[in-house]
Amino acid sequence: MQTTFAFEWDFATSPSKDIEDMAWNYRVIYSPKNEDLAWDTDTFSIREVFYNDDGDIEYWSDENAEPFGATFEELAADFDLMAEAFERPILMTITTDDGIDGLIELSDED
Q: Would you state the pLDDT for residue 97?
A: 85
Q: Which residue has the higher pLDDT, 54 or 5?
A: 54
Q: Would you state the pLDDT for residue 3?
A: 42
Buried b / exposed e along 56-86 (16+ C-beta atoms within 10 A): ebbbbbeeebebeeeeeeeeeebeeebeebe
Q: Where are the domains of the chain?
A: 3-13+21-105
Measured CA to CA, the distance from residue 29 to residue 34 in angstroms comes to: 15
Q: Would you state the pLDDT for residue 108?
A: 66
State pTM to two decimals: 0.74
Helix extents (H) in the chain: 72-83
For the stretch 59-73, pLDDT in tens is: 899 899 999 999 999
Averaged pLDDT, 2-9: 42
Query: Which uninterrupted H or E stretch holds 4?
Result: strand 3-4
Averaged pLDDT, 67-88: 96
